[in-house]
Chain A
Amino acid sequence: MTPWTFFLEHRAEILEATADHLTLVIIAMVFAIAIGVPLGMLIVHRPTLRNLALGLASIFQTIPSLALFGFLIPIPFIGGIGRRTAIVALVLYALLPILRNTYVGLTGIDPAVLEAAEAMGMTQSQILWRVRLPLARAVILAGIRTATIITIGVATIAAAIGAGGLGTFIFRGVAMVSDAVILAGAIPAALLAIAADLLLGLLERRLKIA
């Protein structure tokens, strides 16, 4: 069986898995952004929280993904078999690039500009919303872009805990020792990652301030 014939025979199934995969990624990204960006803003002026948040996010990132999924299964409420656990794990993974880029973007601003803002009599929160955030948005988006690509990849492993998505083909293919089946999961996942990268890259360039 060639990959192509397998793909044609199972195209409806593959399409459905792709949609599931994308849903998983989008939900995880929405949560990761909703947590990562505000947290990044919060830690600009809070060094203790900053070390804690960045430290924790880095630790999550270093846990091998399969192990992280495994660790989460026995935890009540967020754990168990299925989508919810997978999303929690994906959020934890996506957090670091978003959090770090938000923080770096907000703090890596030309000090002369920040000093001007302060000298004009802007409050710290006005400086954050009106100066830091608009100037950091391209860097923040770059973090979101990295996180999205990571999440698309890691989400294939979510199939191991029954969350569905393109990983189902990969795991099935490994079990069947069939390249065709593995590729039916791997190729759409790669295409998704490339598409997300291009799209977000385009957006990022538009947000850049010359």
Chain B
Amino acid sequence: MHYDVPSLERGVSIEMNAKTAAENTGPAIQFQHVTYSLSSSVPRTIVNDICLSVASGQTLVLLGRSGSGKTTLLKLINSLLVPTAGQVIVRGRATTDWDPIRLRRGIGYVIQDAGLFPHFTVAQNIALIPSLERWDATRTAARVDELLSLVGLEPAEYCNRRPHQLSGGQRQRVGVARALAADPPILLMDEPFGALDPVTRAELQREFSALARRLGKTIVFVTHDVREALLLASRIILLESGRIIADATPQGFLRIDHPEVQAFTACLTPLPGASA
């Protein structure tokens, strides 16, 4: 299978917001003693007393096993979930004080498993927020073309396809394009490269890390792949059962002496067959 390698050099207008993000002096996102529990008959705490501050322009990678609470943390940022205790501050204001619609329009969200609209074409999916924001047709169409090229999908070929006519990896790339569409200052990405083959995945990761540095966007990136975390992160947070157990730079992360961290870094050791 062949994928075009996307060239991120084409993403010119994506950089529009780089300045605005940098001007924002305070942290872009702040968790203040955030706890999220389910109010079932047996109350379950999914996220436990999280304190975390994400600086503007930072790429924060949330690492953790399946079920550790990564997606839940993202949903607390864009107010899909409301903290049981504590508060999440986004761009200087608690999520509970934001109009959720305005808050979410300013946050690009790449959903785990893409979450594309099955009744929309690829172009309509990407143009969703621009259409809600009433961009004119020419501007929208130009933006869709630009974003499709950016994620390595030939616009003429993919524009009018429906999500069910795409491979899993192509759907994820459309999901990334959709999140970038309105050029939001904050991006939440939930395993955006999970369904890609390892080769394309590595290519997209390299391209994306270059893009992330240039855009100056605040990015919260979820993964359970240590390599991906080390490559993309300006900072790595490791979650275990809803608690932060490590908070470090990629270099610092490798030196942490904690069994869960080591369980993750152990994945980096060479394969048994590889020559020493």
Contact = CB atoms under 8 A, between A and B. Distances in A.
B117 A131 contact: yes
Nearest to B104: A121
Contacts of A120: 104-105, 109, 128-129, 132, 178
Contact of B118 (A113, A115, A119, A123): A113
B276 interface: no
Contacts of B164: 210
Interface residues of B, number: 23
A19 to B, nearest CB: 38
A53 interface: no
Contacts of A122: 101, 128, 132
B119 interface: yes
Contacts of A117: 117
A126 B131 CA distance: 11
Contact of B109 (A119, A123, A126, A134): A119
A209 B162 CA distance: 10
Given A126-B132, A210-B162, A210-B164, A119 B117 contact: no
A116 interface: yes
A210 B161 CA distance: 12
Contact of B129 (A121, A131, A209, A210): A121
A112 B119 contact: no
A20 B205 CA distance: 68
A17 to B, nearest CB: 42
A119 B78 contact: yes
Interface residues of A, number: 18
B111 A115 contact: yes
Contact of A115 (B115, B119, B178): B115
Given A123-B101, A210-B162, A116 B111 contact: yes
Nearest to B175: A116
Nearest to B128: A120
Chain A facing B: main interface SS: helix
A135 interface: yes
A156 B109 CA distance: 56
B62 to A, nearest CB: 17
Q: Which of B100, B102, B104, B118 has the most CB of A within 10 A?
A: B118
Given A113-B117, A210-B164, A121 B111 contact: no
A96 B102 CA distance: 38
Contact of A121 (B75, B102, B113, B162): B102
Contact of B115 (A112, A126, A134, A209): A112
A133 B245 CA distance: 44
Interface string A154-176: 00000000000000000000000
Interface in A88-136: 110, 112-113, 115-123, 126, 131, 134-135
A115 B80 contact: yes
A124 to B, nearest CB: 10
B116 interface: yes
Q: Which of B102, B103, B117 has the most CB of A within 10 A?
A: B117
Given A115-B80, A115-B111, A210-B162, A121 B117 contact: no
Contact of A119 (B102, B104, B132): B104
Contacts of A113: 115-118
Given A115-B80, A119-B80, A210-B164, A135 B119 contact: yes
B68 to A, nearest CB: 20
Contacts of B105: 120-121
A93 to B, nearest CB: 31
Interface string B55-78: 000000000000000000001001
A121 B100 CA distance: 7
A112 B117 CA distance: 9
B165 to A, nearest CB: 8
A134 B102 contact: no
Interface string A72-100: 00000000000000000000000000000
Given A119-B80, A210-B164, 5 more contacts: A115-B115, A118-B80, A119-B109, A120-B129, A210-B118
Interface of B: 75, 78, 80, 100-105, 109, 111, 113, 115-119, 128-129, 132, 162, 164, 178
12 contacts: A112-B113, A112-B115, A115-B115, A116-B111, A116-B117, A117-B117, A119-B75, A119-B80, A119-B109, A121-B101, A121-B105, A123-B101
